[in-house]
Amino acid sequence: MTSLILAELRRYSKRTLFMVGIIGIIGIQVTLLVNAYVSSRPPTAAQVAEAQPWMDEQQKWNEEYYGPDGDCLREQELNGGSNEDWGCLDVPPPVTVDTYFTRATYEDLAVGAFPAMASFFAIFSFIAGVSFITAEFSSGSISNWLTFEPRRMRVFFSKLSALLIATGVIGAINLSVSALALRFISAINGSLGDDPGKIDRIVLQEGGRWLLGALMAVAIGFAIGTLLRSASLAGGVTVLFIIIDLMATNMARDFWRITVTPRLQAWFMGDYMYINYDECYTANAMGQECTPIEHHLTQAQGGWYLLACAAVIVTAALLVFRRRDAA
């Protein structure tokens, strides 16, 4: 079995799509990292000098309008209203370079740029899983391979194992480099924040979730490719399923309970919330009022659901691969 897995890894590494995909991922990463650097860097001296008159004007207006002697209280006395409504005593903080210029912090990059990088790798993993097996069906090489190794269970699991190993190794390297690069960019731009260790833990947790997601994606892609035997057909069916699932989730009442999209959001984002307005009552002669009821899907619920879906699809592919003619 080990020799089969090693052989599949060698074949996988020589695929043109594999090399194109790696180059594409690197290009996307570099683009996102450049954007992260630009969005998190501090303003230049020229930008600060240009903005200084506006900062001074804003600070002067805040001092004249808010506070116990400001214009805000006089307007409140003339127009009526409470202090909570007007907020005249809530004096804004001093206008400084940090408050005037908005730039991304390490936390912003952790919840924005990092998931974007990881999502591209998950998509690549699915495409790699589909193309790896459909290319063998279309070229007929799967028949030759089964002549060399007629035990189909071993062939199926060697291919799936090779995909999982390659995805796991490449994904771990890819996500680690992305996380370290974002932290380095934040450090040189002075935007780590007060507790970078907390953000490091968030990035580590996000990376683990996205890596598991990529492993499920490559397994599902491989299984769908095995079932349909055509990359174009597998792509079309997948896109159609995504469209139907999104429409059912957003347009049909209570379909969120069975669709995939909410589970994906719960797994990758930590939670999914659905607000139900069905429970309404007559408020007055003008109409009804509805009491919103929040329904939540936890991260664990989303993860177990996705894992079960992956297991079912892979099992179906295995049963079909065992019995159907490979030609």
Q: State the pLDDT at residue 307.
A: 92
- Could you tell me what percent of the chain has a pLDDT over 90? 8
Per the listing, tokens 């799967």 go with 142
Task: Report domain extents, the chain.
Answer: 2-42+103-323, 45-100
Tokens 């594409």 correspond to 24
| CA gap 290, 322 in Å, rounded | 54
User: Is pLDDT at 311 greater than 90 in this prediction?
Assistant: yes
- pLDDT band at residue 110 using 50, 70 and 90 as cut-offs: confident
Angle, vertex CA 15, rays to CA 12 and CA 20, nearest 5 = 120
Task: Indicate the length of the chain as a whole number.
Answer: 327
Q: Which residues contact 119 (CB under 8 A, 6 or more apart)?
A: 210
Asked whether the predicted pLDDT for residue 21 surpasses 90, the reply is no
pTM of the predicted structure, to 2 decimals: 0.75
> If you ran DSSP here, which 8-state letter would residue 293 be given?
E
Structure tokens, 266: 């719960």
* Mean pLDDT within 199-206: 85
**Nearest of 185, 164, 171 to residue 108 by alpha carbon:** 185
**pLDDT tens-digit map of 214-229:** 999 999 999 998 888 8
Whether the per-residue pLDDT at 28 is higher than 70: the answer is yes
pLDDT of residue 83: 64
Q: Which H/E stretch holds residue 49?
A: helix 45-65
For residue 229, the model assigns a pLDDT of: 83
As a whole number of angstroms, the distance between CA 27 and CA 30 comes to 5
pLDDT tier for residue 118 given thresholds of 50, 70 and 90: confident
DSSP secondary structure string, 136-181? Answer: HHHHTHHHHHHHHS--HHHHHHHHHHHHHHHHHHHHHHHHHHHHHH
Which one is predicted more confidently, 41 or 34? 34
